[in-house]
Structure 1
Amino acid sequence: MINLFDINETNAVIQRINNLKPETPPLWGKMSVEKMLAHCNVTYEMALEDMHTKPSGFKKTMLKLFVKPIVVGNKPYKRNSRTAPEFLITNEKSFELEKVRLINYILKTISLGEDYFDNRESFSFGKLTKKEWNTMFYKHLDHHLNQFGV
Structure 2
Amino acid sequence: MKNIFNKEITNQVIKRINTLTPTTTPNWGKMSVSQMLAHCCVTYEMVYTDKHAKPNAFAKYMLKLFVKKIVVSEKPYAKNGRTAPQFIISDAREFETEKKRLVDYIIKTQELGAQYFDGKESHSFGKLTSDEWNNSFYKHLDHHLNQFGV
Deviations 1:40-71 (A, max 9, x none): 00000001111110001211111001100000
Separation of aligned partners in 2, 1:51 and 1:85: 14
Count residues with an aligned counterpart.
Answer: 150
Aligned to 1:79: 79
Q: How does 1:54-133 map to 2 (within 5 A)?
A: 54-133=54-133
> CA RMSD for the aligned pairs?
0.6
Instruction: Determine the C-alpha separation between the residues in 2 that align with 1:36 and 1:42.
Output: 10
SS of the residue 1:113 aligns to = helix
Deviation at 1:142, TM superposition (A): 0.3
In the TM superposition, structure 1's runs of 4+ consecutive aligned residues that sit over 6 Å from their partners are: none
Deviation at 1:113, TM superposition (A): 1.1
Q: Please list every run of 5 or more consecutive structure 2 residues that lacks an aligned counterpart in the other structure.
A: none
For 1:35, the equivalent position in structure 2 comes to: 35
When the two structures are superposed, what TM-score results if normalisation uses the length of structure 2?
0.99
CA distance in 2, matches of 1:94, 1:15: 19
Secondary structure of the residue aligned to 2:127 is strand
Query: What amino acid is aligned across from residue 103 of structure 1 in structure 2?
Result: V
Q: Distance between the aligned counterparts of 1:42 and 1:106, measured in 2?
A: 12
